[in-house]
C-alpha cells in the first residue's frame, strides 16, 4: 500500500494554458490509488473541458458556487470538508491574488478559505506576471498562511517568452504531495545515501561494474526527503534523475565514492550505503585503448576500499557518529551473511536482500528484504515496491532513533 492509497485529493484548476498538463497528473494520482475530485474556475474551463477532467478523475467536476442539481447542498463547504489535500495547479496570478486576500468570489477560492486540509499551490503564468512584486507579495502572503508553494520552472513558455513561470514538473509535484502524507520522523536529520554501481576503469573504453540500477538507493533518498530530511545522494552511474530536493553528487569509481562519502560525513546524522561498490579494480588502468592481441589476457586486480567498513571502524572511536545502515546483497545464506556484515562493519541496521529472483535485487521494481538491527531485532519485510520498502526501512530507522524498538 502506497502513501497515496485511498487519499482524497481535491484538485483546483485555474485559468492557465498549463491546465492541460494536470490531466496527466490526475491519471498518475489515480494509478497510485488516490481519489480525485476536480474543481475548475470559469477561466480554466476555457483552456480544458470539464468533460476531460471528469473522465480522467472518474468523478463529476465542480465549477459553480451553486449546485443546480442539488440546490440544498452547499458545495464549497461540503467540498472543503471531504478531502485530505487541496492542490491548486496550475495556479494563475489571479487565483493567487484571491487566496492572498481571502476573497471567496468563486468556488475554488471559497473552498480554499473554508478548507482545513493542507494546501499545495503550483503557480504557472507569464514570467513578468510571476516576477511582478504584487504576485511575489501574494505568494509570500499565502506562504505565511501555511500554504506550500512550488516554484515554477524556468524555460520557454506558450507566449514564446522565457523565464520562470512554467508549471513545475510532475515528479516535483508528486514529491510535495507525498511529503504532506509521509511521517515527518526524519525532520531534523541529514541523510547521506550512496546508490548505484561503481565503474572501475580498465582502459578509456572499458570498465568493471555490476548491474545495479540505483533504484533502491534513489528510493531511499526520495522517501527520506518526503519524511523531512535534508538529503545528499552520492551516486554511481545510473539512468535515474535525482529525486526533487535532493543534492546529488555523481561519481564513477569506488575510490571517488569513498572521497565524497568522507567529505560529506561531517554534516550527516544517518548514512545509508545502498551502493553496489565493486570490491576490486584493475591494478593498472591503461591510458590508451588496449588492442586486440593474444588469445588470452589476464587482468590483475587490487582490492577497493571497503567504505562501509571504514565508516564502521571510525564509529567505534566516536560517540557522536551518524547512524550507520548497510546493505547485504546475497545469493545464498542471506541471514547468516547479513548478520556477519552487521557485526563486522559495526552497523546499526543492515538490509539483507536476495539478488537471485526476478522480483527482487538488481533492476527489479520490487524488493523483499529482511532488516537486522544492532540489538538482535529481525523484521521480514514482504515483497513491496522499492519506494514502499524504503519507507519500511525508514520506519525501522525511526524506531532505532527513538530507541522504541
Ligand atoms: N560496501 C562498501 N564498500 C565496498 C564494498 C561494499 O561500502 N568496497 C558496502 C555496500 O555498500 C553495502 C555493504 O558494504 O552496504 C555490503 O556490501 P556487499 O557487496 O553485500 O558485501 P561485501 O562487504 O562486498 O562482501 P562480499 O562481497 O563478501 O559479500
Task: Answer whether residue 377 shows pLDDT above 60.
Answer: yes
- DSSP letter at 71? T
Asked if residue 332 belongs to a domain, the reply is yes
Assign 270 a pLDDT band (cuts: 50, 70, 90): very high
Q: How far apart are CA 399 and CA 375, in angstroms?
A: 12
Assign 69 a pLDDT band (cuts: 50, 70, 90): low
Q: Which of 181, 208, 223 is the last residue of a domain?
A: 181
pLDDT of residue 404: 53
Please tell me whether residues 216 and 137 are part of one structural domain. no
Q: Give the rounded distance of the alpha carbon of 78 from its chain centre.
A: 32
CA-to-CA dists, residue 175 to 214, 244, 308, angstroms: 18, 7, 29
Please give the number of the atom of ligand 1 that sits closest to the Cα of 325. 15
Give the residue from 356, 297, 348, 300 showing the smallest Cα distance to 325. Answer: 348
Q: How far apart are CA 153 and CA 347, in angstroms?
A: 41
Asked if residue 285 belongs to a domain, the reply is no
State the CATH number of the domain containing residue 311. Answer: 3.40.50.10300
Q: Is the CB of 257 under 6 A from ligand 1?
A: no
Please give the number of the atom of ligand 1 that sits closest to the Cα of 275. 11
Please tell me whether residues 22 and 171 are part of one structural domain. yes
Q: How far apart are CA 61 and CA 51, in angstroms?
A: 8
Which residue has 493567487 as its cell numbers?
Answer: 96
Whole domain around residue 64: which residue ranges? 8-181
Task: Answer whether residue 405 shows pLDDT above 50.
Answer: no
Asked if residue 71 belongs to a domain, the reply is yes
Q: Is the CB of 334 under 6 A from ligand 1?
A: no
Asked if residue 255 belongs to a domain, the reply is yes
Q: How much distance in Å is there from the Cα of 277 to the middle of ligand 1? A: 6
Q: Give the rounded distance of the alpha carbon of 100 from its chain centre.
A: 29
Peptide bond into 90 cis (omega under 30): yes
Both ends of the chain: CA-CA distance in Å?
23
Asked if residue 271 belongs to a domain, the reply is yes
Task: Answer whether residue 142 shows pLDDT above 90.
Answer: yes
Angle, in degrees to the nearest 10, between helices 215-226 and 170-181: 60
Q: How far apart are CA 340 and CA 56, in angstroms?
A: 51
Please tell me whether residues 250 and 390 are part of one structural domain. yes
| 8 Å CB contact between 382 and 368 | yes
Q: Which of 157, 181, 205 is the last residue of a domain?
A: 181
Please tell me whether residues 206 and 352 are part of one structural domain. yes
Q: Is the CB of 306 under 6 A from ligand 1?
A: yes
Please tell me whether residues 143 and 271 are part of one structural domain. no
Asked if residue 286 belongs to a domain, the reply is no
Which residue has 521494481 as its cell numbers?
Answer: 365
Phi, psi of 242, deg, nearest 5? -60, 135
**Grid coordinates given for 56:** 480522467
Q: How far apart are CA 96 and CA 122, in angstroms?
A: 10
Please tell me whether residues 207 and 322 are part of one structural domain. yes
159 tagged catalytic? yes
pLDDT per position as a tens digit, 8-28: 999 999 999 999 999 999 999
Nearest CA to ligand 1 atom 17: 328
State the CATH number of the domain containing residue 121. Answer: 3.40.50.1950
| CB atoms near residue 321 (< 10 Å) | 18
Mapping DSSP to helix (H, G, I), strand (E, B) and coil, where does residue 214 land?
coil
pLDDT of residue 143: 98
Half-sphere exposure at residue 134, Cβ-oriented, CA atoms within 13 angstroms: 11
Task: Answer whether residue 68 shows pLDDT above 70.
Answer: no
pLDDT of residue 357: 73
Question: Exactly one of 34, 154, 159, 264 is catalytic; which is it?
Answer: 159
Q: Is the CB of 273 under 6 A from ligand 1?
A: yes
| CB atoms near residue 71 (< 10 Å) | 8
Nearest CA to ligand 1 atom 21: 328
| 8 Å CB contact between 245 and 175 | yes
Asked if residue 374 belongs to a domain, the reply is yes
Please tell me whether residues 233 and 374 are part of one structural domain. yes
Q: Is the CB of 326 under 6 A from ligand 1?
A: yes
Q: Is the CB of 279 under 6 A from ligand 1?
A: yes
The stretch 146-153 carries a mean pLDDT of 97
Nearest CA to ligand 1 atom 27: 279
Please tell me whether residues 27 and 167 are part of one structural domain. yes
DSSP of 292-360: P-SS-----EEEPP-HHHHHHHHHHT-TTPPEEEEEEEESSSHHHHHHHHHHHTT-SEEEEEE-SSSSS
Please tell me whether residues 114 and 247 are part of one structural domain. no
Q: Which residues pair with 131 in a beta bridge?
A: none
What pTM does this model have? 0.94
Asked if residue 16 belongs to a domain, the reply is yes
Half-sphere exposure at residue 69, Cβ-oriented, CA atoms within 13 angstroms: 4
Please tell me whether residues 175 and 198 are part of one structural domain. no
Please tell me whether residues 148 and 219 are part of one structural domain. no
User: How many domains is the chain partitioned into structurally?
Assistant: 2
pLDDT of residue 71: 65
Q: Which of 181, 212, 231 is the last residue of a domain?
A: 181
**Grid coordinates given for 69:** 442539481
pLDDT of residue 38: 97
Strand residue runs (E) in 77-227 = 85-91, 119-123, 148-149, 153-156, 162-166, 190-195, 200-203, 206-208
For a pocket test of ligand 1, which of 262, 270, 308 has the largest count of ligand atoms closer than 8 A to its C-beta? 308
The stretch 248-273 carries a mean pLDDT of 98
Please tell me whether residues 158 and 269 are part of one structural domain. no
Nearest CA to ligand 1 atom 3: 306
- Provide the H-helix boundaries in 115-264: 127-131, 133-144, 170-181, 215-226, 254-264
Nearest CA to ligand 1 atom 8: 306
Amino acid at each position: 500500500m502506497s502513501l497515496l492509497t485511498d487519499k482524497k485529493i481535491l484538485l483546483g484548476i485555474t485559468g492557465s494554458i498549463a491546465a492541460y498538463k494536470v490531466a496527466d497528473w490526475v491519471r498518475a494520482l489515480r494509478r497510485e490509488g488516490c481519489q480525485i475530485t476536480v474543481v475548475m474556475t470559469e477561466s480554466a474551463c476555457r483552456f480544458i473541458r470539464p468533460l476531460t477532467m471528469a473522465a480522467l478523475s472518474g468523478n463529476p467536476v465542480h465549477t459553480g458556487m451553486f449546485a443546480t442539481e442539488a440546490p440544498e447542498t452547499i458545495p464549497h463547504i461540503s467540498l472543503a470538508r471531504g478531502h485530505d489535500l487541496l492542490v491548486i495547479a496550475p495556479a494563475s496570478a489571479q487565483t493567487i491574488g484571491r487566496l492572498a486576500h481571502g476573497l471567496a468570489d468563486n468556488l475554488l477560492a471559497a473552498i480554499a478559505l473554508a478548507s482545513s486540509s493542507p494546501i499545495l499551490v503550483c503557480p504557472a503564468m507569464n514570467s513578468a506576471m510571476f516576477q511582478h512584486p504584487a504576485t511575489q507579495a501574494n505568494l509570500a502572503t499565502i506562504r505565511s498562511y501555511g500554504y506550500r508553494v512550488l516554484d515554477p520552472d524556468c524555460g520557454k513558455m506558450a507566449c514564446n517568452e522565457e523565464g520562470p513561470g512554467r508549471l513545475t514538473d510532475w515528479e516535483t509535484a508528486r514529491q510535495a504531495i507525498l511529503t504532506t502524507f509521509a511521517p515527518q520522523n526524519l525532520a531534523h536529520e541529514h541523510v547521506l545515501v550512496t546508490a548505484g554501481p561503481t565503474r572501475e576503469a580498465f582502459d578509456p573504453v572499458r570498465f568493471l561494474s555490476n548491474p545495479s540500477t540505483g533504484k533502491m538507493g534513489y528510493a531511499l533518498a526520495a522517501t527520506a526527503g518526503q519524511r523531512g530530511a535534508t538529503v545528499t545522494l552520492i551516486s554511481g552511474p545510473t539512468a535515474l534523475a535525482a529525486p526533487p530536493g535532493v543534492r546529488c553528487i555523481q561519481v564513477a569509481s569506488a575510490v571517488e565514492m569513498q572521497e565524497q562519502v568522507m567529505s560529506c560525513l561531517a554534516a550527516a546524522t544517518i548514512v545509508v550505503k545502498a551502493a553496489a561498490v565493486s570490491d576490486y579494480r584493475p591494478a593498472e588502468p591503461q591510458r590508451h585503448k588496449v588492442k586486440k592481441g593474444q588469445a588470452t589476457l589476464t587482468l590483475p586486480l587490487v582490492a577497493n576500499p571497503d567504505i562501509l567498513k571504514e565508516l564502521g571502524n571510525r564509529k567505534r572511536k566516536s560517540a557522536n557518529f551518524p547512524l550507520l545502515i548497510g546493505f547485504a546483497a546475497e545469493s545464498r545464506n542471506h541471514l547468516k551473511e547479513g548478520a556477519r556484515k552487521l557485526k563486522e562493519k559495526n552497523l546499526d541496521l543492515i538490509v539483507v536482500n536476495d539478488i537471485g529472483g526476478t522480483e527482487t535485487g538488481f533492476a527489479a521494481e520490487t524488493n523483499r528484504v529482511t532488516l537486522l538491527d544492532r540489538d538482535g531485532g529481525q523484521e521480514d519485510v514482504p515483497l513491496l515496491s522499492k519506494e514502499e520498502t524504503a519507507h519500511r526501512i525508514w520506519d525501522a530507522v525511526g524506531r532505532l532513533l527513538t530507541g522504541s524498538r
